[in-house]
Amino acid sequence: MSGFWRGKTCLVTGATGFLGGSLVAELLDQGAQVVALVRDMVPQSRFAATDLAKRAKIVRGALEDYAVIERALNEYAVDTVFHLGAQAIVGVANRNPLSTFEANIKGTWVLLEACRRVATIERVVVASSDKAYGDHAALPYHEDFPLQGRHPYDVSKSCADLIALSYAKTYSLPVAITRCGNLFGPGDLNINRIVPGTCLAAIDGARPVIRSDGSPVRDYVYVEDIVEGYLRVAEHLGDEGVVGRAFNFGTGEPVSVLDLTRRTLAAAGRADLEPEVRNHAHGEIQAQYLSSALAAEKLGWRPGAGLDQRLSQTFLWYREHRHFF
């Protein structure tokens, strides 16, 4: 630990989410004061189920409420913002695009406008996704690829990224963007995602369900590696060539859904279980994975371990916390 975060005051939106809880824990452990924006308290989340909710300062409200955001930034003299709050589930976005656009697009411009008007702000990190790139024939994604989302979730992230870049360019707001692959790891409560669902199926001795045909290819990144990436971006926001830039964070090891499921079963010691492939999924891109060369060059970031080791670590958490589900 460098000591960079000691004494800093950080607003974290999306603090009760999967990634948000891990980021809040790391910031607190490194000596930062954390102000958490909370809309709904999720009892099983890392934020609520551990001591994080007692160690952080909590502001109740929605991303889209400008008065709430500006008050939080001003009253707590926030210097650093990590904007993780979003509607992050692709299936929900397909069913209800309006709420996704409200949270992900309006929520971003509300937050950035408040940051522009509050004098204490020194750095802003906007969490995005590889989905912002949309469908491209050439892979892996590089940061200079055009943003061309077509499905509701993808479009919401493309728009939010462009809004963030406009605030950096037009108003010199010290903002940078993180674009990550699919997250997994301890604390993910969304059992519809492939790693949590497979871990729980393995514990119960049941066949895991794959909603697609198993062929879509993705980049799966361990949550603690992404937390480290977010901190690196914020710490380097004073460096030349970082403000107004996006950074990809991936493993360089894209795998199919079927392969990931089987590797998760192997990590759980249940390679005997055969996945049930239902082929019902729609509205998703066939292949998405990232080049992280820029993050390695500018930030010194690389994943801390390989996929199979991270899957083993993740399974142990689900086995210990089966009672949450």
The domain limits of the chain are 9-183+220-249, 188-218+253-286+305-324
Query: What is the mean pLDDT of each successive set of 10 residues along the chain, which is 325 residues long?
Result: 92 95 96 95 82 94 97 98 92 92 97 98 97 94 96 95 98 98 94 96 97 95 98 96 97 95 98 95 84 97 96 97 89
DSSP letters for 151-208:
SHHHHHHHHHHHHHHHHHHHH---EEEEEE-EEESTT---TTSHHHHHHHHHHHT-PP
Q: Does residue 66 have an active-site annotation?
A: no
Task: Outline where DSSP puts E strands in the chain.
Answer: 9-13, 33-38, 57-60, 80-83, 123-129, 175-180, 182-184, 209-210, 217-218, 220-222, 246-249, 255-256, 276-277
Q: Are 78 and 9 in contact (CB under 8 A)?
A: yes
Provide the pLDDT for residue 283: 67
Superfamily for 9-183+220-249? Answer: NAD(P)-binding Rossmann-like Domain (3.40.50.720)
- What's the rounded Cα separation, in Å, for the pair 109 and 20? 20
Using CA atoms of 217, 223, 224, 229 in order, give the dihedral in degrees to the nearest 10: 70
Q: What CATH code is assigned to 188-218+253-286+305-324?
A: 3.90.25.10
Provide the pLDDT for residue 1: 64
Provide the pLDDT for residue 228: 98
Three-class DSSP category at 129:
strand
Provide the pLDDT for residue 234: 98
Task: Outline where DSSP puts E strands in 17-61.
Answer: 33-38, 57-60
Task: Judge if pTM exceeds 0.85.
Answer: yes
* Phi, psi torsion values for 162, nearest 5 degrees: -65, -40
Provide the pLDDT for residue 91: 83
Catalytic residue among 141, 153, 167, 230: 153
Residues 6+ apart with CB under 8 A from 259: none
